[in-house]
Structure 1
Amino acid sequence: MRRPLGQPLDVPELPGTLRRSDLTAANAQAVHQLLVLGQAQGGGRVLDFSRWLDAFDHDPECDRQLCFVLEDALGIVAVAHCWTSAFIRNLVVHPRARQRGIGHSLLGVVFAAFAQRHEGHVDLKVMESNLAARRLYERAGMQYVQRRELEPR
């Protein structure tokens, strides 16, 4: 799916008492755990912790500034791990925090960050069976650009 960035962006406020934080050594394990949880529930792939963390230092697609983390008083509630190629690699909202507009707000943060980087659009892949994610992305103005059949495992 793709979200063009040339049109005006509606960046919603973060709901409730959420705050944005950076990816740090202190929260990296919790961020990774949430990404793994999202993989188990919605598909996608997440490297094991050490390779995932190492990629931020050695992979030109990874930039800590493009790992968007939202927290509340109980901990990490949402993560969008993006690549420098304006691609959302993973977006996960913790099950305890779903249905509160957090995913939509996080997408707005991502879109605004890539617009500031003068990107023309943001892309992602989503499993056709992941209906909740597809509805979220559609509401955020993303459009389908390509459909591919999965290769058998």
Structure 2
Amino acid sequence: MRRDLGPALHDPGWPAAVRQVEFNGQNAPAVHQLLVLGREHGGGRVADYATWLDAFETDPEFDPALCFVLEDAEGVVAVAQCWTSAFIRNLVVNPRAHRQGLGLALLNQVFKAFRQRGEGHVDLKVMESNLAARRLYERAGMQYIQRHELDPR
């Protein structure tokens, strides 16, 4: 799916009890744990913690500034991890915070950040079976650009 960054973008606007924080060594374990939880519910892949964390220092597609983290009183509640190629690698909202608008707000923050970096669009992949995610991405103005059949394993 793709979101053109030319049209007007919405401000993120999350609930008052939620705040954006920088990705750092202290919240990295909780961020990784949430990404793993998201993989269990929505598919995709997340490397083991050490490999995943090392990628921020060794892989040119990883940039800590492109790991958007939201916290509430209980800790990390949502994360969007993006690649420098204007690609959303993972977006997960903790199930305890579903239906609060955090996914849409986080997407809007990602769109804003990539527009500031001079990108014309943002891409992501989503499983056809992940209907909740597909509806979220459609509400955020993303459009289908290509479909792939998965190889049976």
Give unmatched runs, 5+ long, in structure 2: none
- Residue 146 of structure 2 corresponds to which residue in structure 1? 146
Amino acid at match of 1:120: G
- What does 1:24-103 align with in structure 2 at a 5 Å threshold? 24-103=24-103
- Residue 3 of structure 1 corresponds to which residue in structure 2? 3
Q: Deviations over 1:5-41 (max 9, x none)?
A: 0111112311231100111111100000000000000
Structure 2: distance between partners of 1:56 and 1:22:
14
RMSD: 0.6
Structure 2: distance between partners of 1:96 and 1:22:
21
Q: TM-score, normalised by structure 2?
A: 0.99
Q: Is the counterpart of residue 22 in structure 1 residue 22 in structure 2?
A: yes
Structure 2: distance between partners of 1:15 and 1:73:
12
Identical-pair percentage: 69
Amino acid at match of 2:43: G
Amino acid at match of 1:56: F
- Residue 133 of structure 1 corresponds to which residue in structure 2? 133
Structure 2: distance between partners of 1:111 and 1:2:
11
Q: Deviations over 1:47-93 (max 9, x none)?
A: 10000000000000000000000000000000000000000000000
Give unmatched runs, 5+ long, in structure 1: none
Structure 2: distance between partners of 1:6 and 1:30:
34
- Residue 117 of structure 2 corresponds to which residue in structure 1? 117
User: Secondary structure of the residue that 1:135 maps to in structure 2?
Assistant: helix
Q: TM-score, normalised by structure 1?
A: 0.99
Q: Deviations over 1:70-129 (max 9, x none)?
A: 000000000000000000000000000001100000000000000000100000000000
Structure 2: distance between partners of 1:32 and 1:57:
16
